[in-house]
Structure 1
Amino acid sequence: MLPTLAELLTLPAFAGAEVRSGHARLGQPITWVHVSEISDAARFLSGGELLLSTGTPLVGEGAGVYIRSLAGGGAHGLALELVREVRELPPAALNAAHESEFPLIVFRQEVSFAEVTRAAHARILRPPAAVRPPSLSAVTDALNETGRAADFVASHLGAVLSLPPRPRLTLLDTLAALLACNFNVAESARSLGVRRQTVYYRLEQLRAMLGDLDDPKRQLGLLLALELSRGPEN
Structure 2
Amino acid sequence: MLPTLADLLTLPAFAGAEVLSGQDRLAQPVTWVHVSEIADAARFLSGGEVLLSTGSPLTSLSDAEAEGYLRSLAEGGAHGLILELVRDLRDPPPALVGAARLYDFPLIVFRQEVSFAALTRAAHARILRPPADTSEPSLAPLLDALNETGRSLGFMQAHLGALLALPPRPRATLLSTLEALLDHNFNMAQSARRLGVRRQTIYYRLEQLRAMLGDLDNPRRQLGLQLALEIARGEASVGREP
Q: Aligned partners of 1:10 and 1:48: how far apart in 2? A: 18
CA drift of 1:140 comes to 3.4
- CA gap of 1:128–1:108, structure 2 versus 1, over 3 A, is same
Q: Aligned partners of 2:215 and 2:117: how far apart in 1? A: 50
Higher mean displacement: 11-20 or 187-196: 187-196
The answer to whether residue 21 in structure 2 is matched with residue 10 in structure 1 is no
CA drift of 1:154 comes to 2.6
Q: Which residue of 2 aligns with 1:64?
A: 67
Q: Map Cα deviations across residues 80-134 of structure 1 (whole Å, 9 max, x no partner).
A: 1101121111122112222322211011111222222222222222233245322
Check the 8 A contact 1:57/1:63 in 2, yes or no.
no
Give 3-state SS (helix, strand or coil) of 2:173's partner. Answer: helix
CA drift of 1:75 comes to 0.8
Give 3-state SS (helix, strand or coil) of 1:79's partner. Answer: strand
1:7-156 alignment, distance < 5 Å: 7-61=7-61, 62-130=65-133, 132-140=135-143, 143=146, 149-156=152-159
Q: Aligned partners of 1:216 and 1:131: how far apart in 2? A: 22
Q: Which runs of 5+ in 2 are unaligned?
A: 238-242
Q: Which runs of 5+ in 1 are unaligned?
A: none
CA drift of 1:136 comes to 1.8
Number of aligned residue pairs: give it: 229
With normalisation by structure 2, the TM-score equals: 0.80
- CA gap of 1:178–1:130, structure 2 versus 1, over 3 A, is closer
Q: Aligned partners of 1:134 and 1:84: how far apart in 2? A: 48
CA drift of 1:201 comes to 4.8
With normalisation by structure 1, the TM-score equals: 0.83
CA drift of 1:209 comes to 2.5
CA RMSD of aligned residues (A): 2.7
Structure 1 segments (4+ residues) deviating >6 Å: none
Matched-pair identity in %: 70
Q: Aligned partners of 1:4 and 1:208: how far apart in 2? A: 52
